[in-house]
DNA sequence: CTTACCCATAACCCTACAGTTATGAATTAA
DNA sequence: TTAATTCATAACTGTAGGGTTATGGGTAAG
């Protein structure tokens, strides 16, 4: 039960937050204002979501004058990929074990 | 913003629930009693988590006398895998675009 | 038939947290 | 200097949902 994996799942569970991350992945760096415009929630809400994404390592921020630019940091998805393939791997192992058993029973 | 992906993230966000799913992946089919024994929460809580996992398609149940056996259904993780590779893909595309731009500027 | 066991559901509590408005700090424009 | 813009933080509210205890239905055992 890795802490990083836990934080990732918790952070990506919220649809509004996930949508913000998706937009940053698709369209690249964006200011808070641009993200707010099509998010459906208020600017403070977006700022809070960006704070959560940043704490999970999913985004980086860059200050330029009075604007803050955010960009996705997809490397942070690695624990998610690892967890998923681990789960799939366990399943595959049990399939293999069953296969072995059947083969041994066949003889 | 696929509904299946949304349900998956929401379902896997809870650590207790994710731990139950992990155990089913690692160790195969289990009864509710066996799962409750090492879950740290009450039996009704485990039943509710199993209900949520089932609704997300992550587990199957099989009734046998007065026990219910649950098993993982890892195929349900596919939308998660798809979403993750899509996010990584967007990033890669933008890297490629940047690469192209740099090459063109180089000439 | 009665008792014990396994699980699911109901009813309730309580906390985490996503959303809001209000406001202030920092920067740019007039 | 004043005014306008951009974002972050504070303070608060409402609700979704994870936890509990209580209970009942179905099955196996005595």
Contact (Cβ atoms closer than 8 angstroms) between residue B31 and residue B67: yes
Q: For A17-48, what is each residue's pLDDT tens digit?
A: 999 999 999 999 999 999 999 999 999 999 99
Q: What's the confidence (pLDDT) of residue A1? A: 64
Q: For B77-100, what is each residue's pLDDT tens digit?
A: 999 999 999 998 887 777 777 777
Give the list of residues 6+ apart from residue B87 with CB closer than 8 angstroms, or none: A21, A22, A25, A72, A74, A77
A60 interaction partners in chain B (CB closer than 8 Å):
none
Domain ranges of chain B: 3-106
Q: Which of B56, B59, B65, B63 is nearest to B28 (CA)?
A: B59
CATH of domain A3-106: 1.10.10.10
Helix (H) or strand (E) holding B62: strand B59-64
Nucleotides of C under 7 A from a protein CB: 5-11, 17-22, 26-28
Q: Which residue is nearest to nucleotide C20 (CA to C1')?
A: A42
Helix (H) or strand (E) holding B22: helix B15-27
In whole angstroms, what is the distance from residue A63 CA to residue A57 CA?
17
């Amino acid at each position: 039960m890795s802490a990083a994996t836990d934080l990732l799942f918790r952070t990506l569970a919220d649809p509004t937050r996930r949508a913000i991350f998706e937009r940053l992945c698709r369209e690249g760096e964006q200011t808070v204002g641009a993200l707010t415009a099509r998010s459906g929630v208020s600017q403070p809400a977006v700022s809070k979501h960006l704070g959560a994404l940043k704490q999970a390592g999913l985004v980086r921020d860059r200050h330029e004058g009075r604007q803050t630019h955010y960009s996705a940091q997809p490397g942070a998805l690695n624990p998610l990929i690892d967890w998923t393939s681990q789960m799939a791997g366990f399943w595959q192992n049990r399939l293999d074990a069953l296969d072995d058993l059947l083969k041994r029973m066949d003889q």
